[in-house]
Amino acid sequence: MGERYCAVLEQINALEPRMRQHSDAQLTALTADFKSRLARGASLDDLLPEAFAAIREVARRVLGMRHFDSQMIGGMVLHDGQIAEMATGEGKTLVATLPAYLNALTGSSVHVVTVNEYLAARDAQWMGKVFSFMGLSCAAV
């Protein structure tokens, strides 16, 4: 399992220079491109390297935060429906942007659960900037 994640991580990292060269408009347009590819039969796993690389770049531009490799792997683990244990300060909030964005491409709602109302509101506002940049909406309930 770890080898598979490392292989996908290499693909994501290889895409980083290309994503950095994209204009804001080109990055935003990737959402429509990804949705179109899904409609033509691509799977979420097919799109994962590009989608994760795109979100990494958007977070860098919008939040001034770049996902570390360990956070990318955490995002893959969550996308696979597994549990990723992370300590305080390791970037769980940022990690959640990866599988949330990828799975939202299907047009279905994605729910990210946190421990209290304060964190839900804070994180929706904070990470919502990433989703908004990519043409998606975000709210806390």
Write out pLDDT tens, residues 69-122.
999 999 999 999 998 888 888 888 999 999 999 999 999 999 988 889 999 999
**Quick one: which H or E segment has residue 51?**
helix 44-63
Tell me, yes or no, whether 126 lies in a domain. yes
Two structure tokens written together for 121: 């509101």
pLDDT attached to residue 22: 99
Contact 139, 127 (CB under 8 A): no
Range from 2-6, 8-12, 123-127 that averages highest in pLDDT: 8-12
Residue 141 forms part of a structural domain: no
Q: Please check whether residue 22 is in contact with residue 53, taking contact to mean a CB–CB distance below 8 angstroms.
A: no
Q: How many domains does the chain have?
A: 1
The band of 124, judged by pLDDT with boundaries at 50, 70 and 90, is very high
pLDDT score for 114: 86
CATH number at residue 91: 3.40.50.300
Decide if 138 is inside a domain: no
**What contacts 31, CB < 8 A, 6 or more positions away?**
105, 134, 135, 136
Residue 140 falls inside a structural domain: no
The string of DSSP codes covering 87-122 is -TTS-HHHHHHHHHHHHHTTSS------SSHHHHHH
**Domain assignment present for 139:** no
Mean pLDDT of 5-13: 98
27-58 pLDDT, tens digit per residue, is 999 999 999 999 999 999 999 999 999 999 99
pLDDT at 57: 99
Q: What domain range includes position 45?
A: 2-133
Residue 1 confidence (pLDDT) above 80: no
